Structure 1
Amino acid sequence: MSFKRSILIGGLLVSIVLLVSGLTFYMSLGPCPSGTFACDNGTVCVPRRQVCDDRRDCADGQDEHPVECGMFHGSNELLLKIVYRMNQTNGRNDEEDSSSMCDIKTYPNVCACVRRSMLTCSNAGFLKLPPISTEVTYLHLVGNNLTLRKDSFQGFNLVYLNLRSNNISTLPSGIFSGLSRLQKLFLGFNRIHKLPTGVFKGLSSLNWLFINSNGLHKFSLRALKELNNLHWLNLSQNHLLLKNEEFPQLENLVELTLDHNDIVEVSESLFLQLSELQLLSLTHNRIKTVHPRAFTELRKLRELRLTKNPLKTLSGQAFTNMKSLEALYLGETQVTIDRNLLGTTNVSYLNLHGIGFNNIDFQVVGNIPALQYVVYDKFYFCSMTPHIQKCKPNSDGVSSFEDLLSKPVLRYSAWLMAGLTFFGNILVLWGRFIYRDENRAVTMVIRNLAVSDILMGFYLSVIGIQDARYRSRYHEVALDWITSWSCAAAGVLAVTSSEVSMLILAFMSLERFLLIADPFGGHRRLNSRNVCFCLLSIWLVGGTIAVAPVILWRSSTRFYGAYSGTCFPLHIQERYPVGWEYSAFLFLGLNLFLLIMIALLYTALLFSIWRTRSKTPLAMLDCEFAVRFFFIVLTDMSCWAPIITMKIWAFMSYDISDDTYAWLVVFILPLNSAVNPLLYTFTTPKYRNQVLLRGWHKFTSRRRTEGSGNSNPDESQGKIIPLLYQTANNSQWKG
């Protein structure tokens, strides 16, 4: 039976589409799994452990770039990496050193003597310091439940002491007084809420001091006065306010980390005496005000981190004397990036992640002479400063710093969908030209549908051609492209195509519902003149919708290219971007309404057929209608539902992955235009036979086959569902 063949063909086409859609999405995913570092335009995945190991694994050397390695000497991330490597090295050498001589005479069996005088006692369940002879110089005592006394380390000659994660709640005053050679002290991840005066007395050689993650809230900075050789101080993840406090003069302190505390105000005198400081990290505090002269004396400061603070105003005077400043982190604050703030800075690295588009003066950013690396919140920000050598995010899933279509699968998909769109719709137009036994009204509707879908092919071709033109140098022309009238024209083509197609399908859905479900309701017949008027109105509405944003935001042509080089106003990167009202109206208003209306009309239509034919077997025409109805709802929902869903998620502040965005714009959006002509045409037996079996003969001979009997013109109309009743067909669609 012909309708079974239609089911087979339709099911095969849908299966192929679903398979290709899933395969395309999988191939468009980021090539590098979590725990790896992507470089060389995403083609090389380097394990994190191999980043900053003094060996280039990326062709462009990005894995050894100073920014990726913590930017500068002494950065906290690089420091922790060094400590991690040291511990890993010790662990790897346990076996080879176990046979070497151990100088420690007394130590518990659960501990391991490593490298003569180095002792590791991790997770041994100790409640107090175990009996250890004084020969030990390196003591790694982690993961126990210790209670320390003032004389716990008396007589020891330690150089390194790690007391991390021991549930320590108090440190007696003078507990480290005899450790004059101690260079590194780790007290992190305990429960030390306050430090007594004189707790660090005697630590004249101390270089590293980590008191992070203790919940520390009471701490007099005067206790640090004894630490003249201190280089690195980590006080992060505590509850320090530091109100009316002032760091003592520490002539050798080069790095100070105060992340994740409760600091509200940075006073003028807080860092006044830290003249040698090179890195200051104040991220994730509650800082609202910074005194204009708070950093005046930090003339050697190279890196300043102020990210994730509710900071609204920051005076450019704060950076006046910071001639050595090379890295400035202002991300996720509420400051306005303008000339008043950055006019005197000459940093090479600038972090503006989390700061909105309208709060950044990109001309000021672009005019910083030494700036080589900038981090924005969204990829399209990078197009505003195209001459900067490195910019992150380096992709929005579609474009990259080098290419308009960053991944080969996106390039192939764009040209494939364009080819299918042209082929399928030109085939429909050709078929309507040679298939002359149907009336003019139906032919007009089908041709207009095909023309609207062909516009999507032109849009994809424009994007593909521009991608080829700008290959490997997209960053040089990105700003010119997204602000050009060519980009705006491409966006107008895409929106016109999608909206006209949806409007025509909705128009015919309503018309068929009125004809079939209510044939005696007085519905006026459609002739060629009426159809021509309706189609003209649809094209005017669709064109007006597409051109409207160019007029509304006429100060520039950037609306269509504002958030992506693909020039389509999906706008799911931000919750309320410029023109969000238009995007919301288009996808969550008009298209969602039309999609629901089409589904409801066809559902009611199918229900009406089943109800009127409940006492008689379904005719062949009814079965073919049911088949085509299923494919119509399935394909339309499959194409538009993901786009509308992602738009709703964007308004609910959910992050949409770059890979999903690329898949929607390059593949799903044009899928309806590319597949529908094939799907709806080849599930119609009579049209399939006319085009494929006799079409070419009809075209060359110009002869009509006679004696075919009663014909049903609507049976071959592509997207248009055939009339159920022949009487309705003969009376309502006469040209």
Structure 2
Amino acid sequence: MLLLPVRQMVATESPYTLLSVELASDRLDPAKRLQALLLQRRSTRVSHPHGPRVDCETFGVLFTHGIPVWTSGSQHRCAFLTTRAIFRTKLPRGTMQAYVAVIFAYGVSALNITEEKASCPLGLFPCGNLTVCLPQLLHCNGIDDCGNQADEENCGDNNGWPHLFDKYFGMPSYNTGTKSNVCLLGVVPELCQCRDLELDCDGAQLQDIPVVAMNVTMMSLQMNQLQILRANTFFKYQNLQKLYLQHNRIRDVSPDAFRGLYNLTRLYLSYNKISVLMPGVFRDLHKLEWLILENNNIHQISSMTFSGLNSLVLLVLLNNSLTKLDDICREMPRLNWLDLEGNLIETIGNVSLHSCSMLTVLVLQRNEISNIHEQAFSVLQKLGELDLSNNRLVAIPPNLFVLLGDLLQLNISYNPIVELQVDHFDKLHKLKSLSIEGIEIENIQRRMFEPLKYLTHIYFKKFQYCGYAPHVRSCKPNTDGISSFEDLLANIVLRVFVWVVSATTCFGNIFVICMRSYIRSENKLHAMCIISLCCADGLMGIYLFMIGAYDLKFRGEYNRHAQAWMDSSQCQVIGSLAMLSTEVSVLLLTYLTLEKYICIVYPFQYLTPGWRRTVTILLGIWVFGFIVAFLPLACKGLFRNFYGTNGVCFPLHSEQPETLWAHVYSIVIFLGLNLVAFLIIVLSYASMFYNIQRTGTQTTKYSNHIKKEVTIAKRFFSIVITDSLCWIPIFILKILSLLQVEIPGTISSWVVIFILPINSALNPILYTLTTRPFKETILQVWANYRQKRPLLSGHPAHHPSLTWQEMWPLQENSHGFTTGHPLETTGTLAKLTPVENPTEGYNDITTCTQQQKQHTVLSVCSQKQTAPHTLAHTHIYTQTNELI
């Protein structure tokens, strides 16, 4: 006895696991369980509350005993059984139809989307029959916010075919009847199975049609080696109702191959090598309802090819090589479903579908369509689903959809459409699902979607577009990797660390600016450069602080403000501050590196930078930085919304189309100026290290040389590695963007929050806080504090006098004498300062003072004029002291 239990499964992991079906059978061969062959390779669109849209490939899924139709997994949760599934079964007549009817009756009733009440304000949606209204972001988020689960119902997009299946394919009787397990066909081939009047020869290695009793009603010849269907092959099997010929090698089909099959209702010819079907080949199949011809190589058909198919309701020509349609429905007046996906059709003329007035599903996905006549769909007034995705449409005729008043689902995604008319969708009053993914809508506005009162699902290319359809309950994508419907910063880690990085950057740079006043340096120019660098890096901290502040401001309702925020002057200004900080910091680091490089590598050819020259260079860097940062704001006509391409207002990577000026500008800044600066810094430090290493062996003892070399290497490595960590990821992103490689928004957000501010946060540490002068100053402050403590108790104290000379190129004091030569004492470089009273003169002699309390003997030493090569070596060590 055949058991057909249908088990309704309550969603546990996900509200979108609707149904699990368990089929059991006591067939003679338990290995050959009941199968449902999915002949349509179309993805089921999934709306999952905790992640982006997921596509579950439905082709080839077998429904077997104990295995659910579609289960919810950790990564993929599918909203419905499948789309456009064609079932192949060996059950008694009427059994499978009843089973399918049960499944789809449940599916249609469970998924029939109720009309949203108009009592809620724009952007809010009701909780079923309750008077409570919740914002869009709280619907389908996996949490029962309504209290009655209403906000988690009807979240899957099952408009179109699932909704139409029962209506147009009918509800058969539930009386399935019984069949005998005894074979009534007499002798059958050795590898075939027989039950009642059904013959199963799947995989029997047959090379010709088997000869059996003429009263056979079902013949399954899948996965054999059939190559030719000769004339009158099935003529004597006039009771045959279902014929399965999939996965053979059929190349030739005689015009009389199916002669005499007056009762055939299902014919499957999928996965063969058929290239041509002659006119009249189906002329005797007056009762045929399903004709499946997918995955062949059919390149030529005419309207007469289908003559005689008066009862045909389903025609699948998926993945063939058709190039044109000539009134394809003329001989099929009842055709309800036409699937032409994956062909080579280029044009849809005004007569291509002229006789297809009964169509409810038309699939033209993945063709080469570049032109559609404005009246091509004028007769399709019963059409419920239209799929034009993945074609070459540049423009859609203004009145193409005017007469499609019953359309429930429209998909025009992934076409190179450059503009949509504002009123393109005005006449689609019943539309519930609209997919326009992969399309840049430059003229997008709310007016486009306002007439679609019953729209429940909409799919865009960009998260930001969802702000133009606030009345739609489900909009995808719900994040761009940076922002989400709820928050400007979608990731909680980003929301926390934007404050951490901001605080670190601001505090570090402000601390350095304040502490510089405590370092009494004769080299005020170097201090000025460091303070200028800290000011530039501090702007990055301010930028991150502002992003964090606006994230708090928009918390929980960002989607309502997203477009206004990205177009606002506040977003433009803080984006400009980030760009200003980045470029000024890069240029200052390059300048400081070149000064140090020239000083160390060419010590006697170097001209000491004066006050005027240094100030001029610093002012030039800041002026150039302001021009670079604020040029896009001053020339909005050329750059458009340059900084407002994402929620963080930084144009590192933009999914929106850029103007030529903006594109060139971005390349010149990130892959021109910044890349050249980065290479200069890396090569300069490498050359400096080489010269210091070479010179150190001539002027120091070997052990001291090794120790100093390791210290300098660590310092140089730290500087270069931080620059590399900051800029190499940015260079890679810009190169990938230039190559038009799709970059997830999550990567951009992490780069902006973590990678870009690396230099700004670490520059104060590398260039001040860990340098030897700063550490010695801190020690001196601590020593002074300890010296003051005895005074409070009445004991005398000796205050050391210490003035630091920062390691800058040799400078002349007010009397023309060169200062800054180090003194090597007991293997250690001593910091030297000129005598406080300049009136005493030096006569080319550098006088230095070493003072040491308790265990240090105060000494005053003089040094006669030094030989040039010794002076050069000494000068290099003077410059590198600050780096260690």
Give the TM interval when normalised to the shorter protein: 0.7 to 0.9
Correspondence 1:52 to 2:136: no
Distance 2:420 2:605 in 1: 65
Q: Secondary structure at the match of 1:322?
A: coil
Partner of 1:586: 669
Partner of 1:39: 48
Q: Structure 1 residues 556 and 648, CA, compared in 2 at 3 Å: closer, same or farther?
A: closer
Q: Percent identity?
A: 32
Confirm or deny: 8 A CA contact 1:351 1:376 kept in the other structure. yes
Partner of 1:172: 254
Distance 2:180 2:491 in 1: 54
Correspondence 1:400 to 2:489: no
Distance 1:330 1:702 in 2: 81
Partner of 1:250: 332
Correspondence 1:595 to 2:659: no
Distance 1:390 1:254 in 2: 29
Question: Which one of the candidate residues 566, 586, 589 is aligned to 1:505?
Answer: 589
How far residue 247 of structure 1 moved from its aligned partner, in angstroms, is 2.2
Q: Structure 1 residues 146 and 438, CA, compared in 2 at 3 Å: closer, same or farther?
A: farther
How far residue 523 of structure 1 moved from its aligned partner, in angstroms, is 1.5
1:435-450 to 2 correspondence within 5 Å? 435-436=519-520, 439-450=523-534
How far residue 112 of structure 1 moved from its aligned partner, in angstroms, is 5.8
Q: Structure 1 residues 525 and 415, CA, compared in 2 at 3 Å: closer, same or farther?
A: same
How far residue 392 of structure 1 moved from its aligned partner, in angstroms, is 2.9
Partner of 1:223: 305
Q: Secondary structure at the match of 1:339?
A: coil
Distance 1:389 1:625 in 2: 61
Partner of 2:742: 655
TM-score by structure 1 length? Answer: 0.80
1:524-563 to 2 correspondence within 5 Å? 524-527=608-611, 530-553=613-636, 558-561=641-644, 563=645
Correspondence 1:634 to 2:721: yes
Distance 1:224 1:428 in 2: 84
**CA shift digits 1:128-187 (9 cap, x unpaired):** 234555676454433322133344444264443332221111222243344444333221
How far residue 107 of structure 1 moved from its aligned partner, in angstroms, is 4.6
Confirm or deny: 8 A CA contact 1:62 1:68 kept in the other structure. no
Confirm or deny: 8 A CA contact 1:181 1:206 kept in the other structure. yes
Question: Which one of the candidate residues 731, 742, 750 is aligned to 1:644?
Answer: 731
Partner of 2:222: 142
Distance 1:63 1:39 in 2: 10
Worse-matched range after superposition: 548-557 or 651-660: 548-557
List runs of 5+ in structure 1 lacking aligned partners. Answer: 1-33, 80-96, 716-721
Worse-matched range after superposition: 397-406 or 437-446: 437-446
**CA shift digits 1:206-237 (9 cap, x unpaired):** 22221122111221222324222222211122
Correspondence 1:669 to 2:756: yes
Distance 2:742 2:142 in 1: 31
Distance 2:798 2:292 in 1: 92
1:52-201 to 2 correspondence within 5 Å? 52-53=80-81, 59=142, 68-69=157-158, 71-73=160-162, 106-108=187-189, 110-111=191-192, 120-130=200-210, 137-147=217-227, 148-153=229-234, 154-155=236-237, 157-201=239-283
How far residue 710 of structure 1 moved from its aligned partner, in angstroms, is 8.0
How far residue 282 of structure 1 moved from its aligned partner, in angstroms, is 1.8
Worse-matched range after superposition: 681-690 or 371-380: 681-690
Q: Secondary structure at the match of 2:243?
A: strand
How far residue 195 of structure 1 moved from its aligned partner, in angstroms, is 0.9
Distance 2:783 2:314 in 1: 86
Question: Which one of the candidate residues 446, 452, 471 is aligned to 1:369?
Answer: 452
**CA shift digits 1:66-101 (9 cap, x unpaired):** 87446433789xx9xxxxxxxxxxxxxxxxx99976
Worse-matched range after superposition: 285-294 or 116-125: 116-125
Q: Structure 1 residues 476 and 311, CA, compared in 2 at 3 Å: closer, same or farther?
A: same
**CA shift digits 1:246-288 (9 cap, x unpaired):** 4215343222111222323222222122112112122232333
**CA shift digits 1:305-354 (9 cap, x unpaired):** 22233333432223222211233333333443113644544444333333
How far residue 492 of structure 1 moved from its aligned partner, in angstroms, is 1.3
Confirm or deny: 8 A CA contact 2:359 2:382 kept in the other structure. yes
Q: Secondary structure at the match of 1:161?
A: strand
Correspondence 1:494 to 2:578: yes
TM-score by structure 2 length? Answer: 0.68
Correspondence 1:420 to 2:504: yes
Partner of 1:20: none
How far residue 632 of structure 1 moved from its aligned partner, in angstroms, is 1.3
Q: Structure 1 residues 131 and 709, CA, compared in 2 at 3 Å: closer, same or farther?
A: farther
Q: Secondary structure at the match of 2:315?
A: strand
Distance 2:769 2:180 in 1: 79
Confirm or deny: 8 A CA contact 1:222 1:247 kept in the other structure. no
Confirm or deny: 8 A CA contact 1:316 1:343 kept in the other structure. no
Which letter maps to 2:161?
A: F
Between Structure 1 and Structure 2, how many residues are aligned? 671
Pick the structure with more helix per residue.
Answer: 1
Partner of 1:93: none
Question: Which one of the candidate residues 420, 424, 435 is aligned to 1:351?
Answer: 435
Which letter maps to 1:664?
A: V
How far residue 509 of structure 1 moved from its aligned partner, in angstroms, is 0.9
Q: Secondary structure at the match of 1:176?
A: coil
How far residue 418 of structure 1 moved from its aligned partner, in angstroms, is 1.9
Q: Secondary structure at the match of 1:350?
A: strand
Distance 1:63 1:234 in 2: 35
How far residue 491 of structure 1 moved from its aligned partner, in angstroms, is 0.3
Worse-matched range after superposition: 129-138 or 516-525: 129-138
Which letter maps to 1:166?
A: N
Distance 1:75 1:671 in 2: 56
Distance 1:684 1:526 in 2: 23
Q: Secondary structure at the match of 1:316?
A: coil
Q: Structure 1 residues 58 and 571, CA, compared in 2 at 3 Å: closer, same or farther?
A: closer
Partner of 2:171: none
Q: Structure 1 residues 401 and 49, CA, compared in 2 at 3 Å: closer, same or farther?
A: closer
Structure with bigger gyration radius: 2
How far residue 40 of structure 1 moved from its aligned partner, in angstroms, is 1.6
Q: Structure 1 residues 108 and 575, CA, compared in 2 at 3 Å: closer, same or farther?
A: farther
Partner of 1:713: 806
Q: Secondary structure at the match of 1:228?
A: coil
Q: Structure 1 residues 513 and 418, CA, compared in 2 at 3 Å: closer, same or farther?
A: same
How far residue 536 of structure 1 moved from its aligned partner, in angstroms, is 2.8
